[in-house]
Amino acid sequence: MPPPLLFQEYPSLDGVVPWIPLVNSFTPVERLSNLETYLNTDTSLWVKQDNLTSPIYGGNKVRKLEFIIADALQRKKKTIATLGGIGTNHGLATTIFGKKNGLNTVLYLIKQPITKHVLDNLKLDFHYGAELKYVKNYLGVGLQFYLLDRLRRKQTYWLPAGGSTPLGILGYVNATLELKQQIEKGKLPEPELLFVAAGTTGTMAGLELGIQLTGLKIRVLGIRVTDRMAATAGKVKSLIKGALKILHKDSKLRNFQYKPRFQLIDQYYGGKYGRVTPEGQKAVDLIRQTEDISLETTYTGKTLAAFIDHVKRVETTGPMLFWNTYNSVDLSAIADQVNYQQLPSEFHHLFIEEVQ
């Protein structure tokens, strides 16, 4: 496996910044021609298929975990503890790739609206061996994850929600170098706008930083899908600041000055994390019919709704890129084999509630 583009571009980071290979190769970019026809637009529409980051489990988390799991291993940790909603894709990705690399996982899970996808992820967390802790509210998480358990479990790597740490977002700086090569090879024109889901904002922060480092002019639009407190412009900037501290290990980067250009868009959230919105659901249905692409309603459906609205509202712009962050490896057959009654009892009631 060759070193990541980040180390090829900045060789003095090699051996200094922890990294292990998890992403198989460049993820493809595709033109969304059927969607263009459906929307009757002259704007060229593109997708970056990070749903295909790995044949084991795809989506955006894999890129972050290349750096995070390497760091945990380097620090000789035995377990990664992290948190999220009960259907967290991040928790599942951490469990799957942690296990592959000899690490246990503990997941602190908070209730969110129930969909089949949410319940499947919960069963899969169990199937892949995560220790599951149900926390009723944010206060409970604060106490357990950030205070009590942290003091007791010294061998544990404490990973913030979404894997959004300065180190983790280097995965998306790396992804931008990949995108730049694809543009240079003529696989797509340089987009004017890039739409990406903003949950814990690490993905958009990495893209925003990478775009400026590589000299691309793309404007990043983060579609907020979590509470206003979790996804703020301040958080994006602070992740970038932290990532730059790591990157400053390469002398070429010491004089680089970052200037914020991204925008966080609020109006697709729908008032609650995980709530299915009508426009999000419509976008999920439309892209399935026109392009045979599978999205979900918590992150990528809301982001695609914003993308489609932009095409409808603004007559013609430069090329637009939708960054698909959702895993497309179908693990539902494995989930179907798990009997929910095997899970810790505090999770059982979730399986008898009404699905959205």
124 part of the interface to ligand PLP, by CB under 6 A: no
Q: Which is nearer to ligand PLP, 176 or 201 (CB)?
A: 201
Write the DSSP string, 250-292.
Answer: SGGGTT-------EEE-TTSTTSTTPPPHHHHHHHHHHHHHH-
| Nearest distance from C-beta of residue 251 to ligand PLP, angstroms | 29
Subset of residues 290 to 319 that bind ligand PLP, contact rule: CB under 6 A: 299-300
| Nearest distance from C-beta of residue 2 to ligand PLP, angstroms | 25
Asked whether 31 and 46 are in contact (CB, 8 A), the reply is yes
Angle of helix 202-214 versus helix 170-184 axis, rounded to 10: 50
Per-residue mark of binding to ligand PLP, 321-350 (x: CB under 6 A): ----xx------------------------
Q: Which is nearer to ligand PLP, 38 or 158 (CB)?
A: 158
65 part of the interface to ligand PLP, by CB under 6 A: no
Asked whether 232 and 264 are in contact (CB, 8 A), the reply is yes
90 part of the interface to ligand PLP, by CB under 6 A: yes
Distance CA 230, CA 233 (A): 10
Per-residue mark of binding to ligand PLP, 230-249 (x: CB under 6 A): --------------------
Per-residue mark of binding to ligand PLP, 198-217 (x: CB under 6 A): xxxxxx--------------
Q: Which tokens sit at 238?
A: 């602070």
Asked whether 239 and 171 are in contact (CB, 8 A), the reply is no
Cα four-point dihedral sign 156, 160, 161, 166: negative
Positions in the binding site for ligand PLP (CB under 6 A): 59-60, 89-90, 162, 164, 197-203, 299-300, 325-326
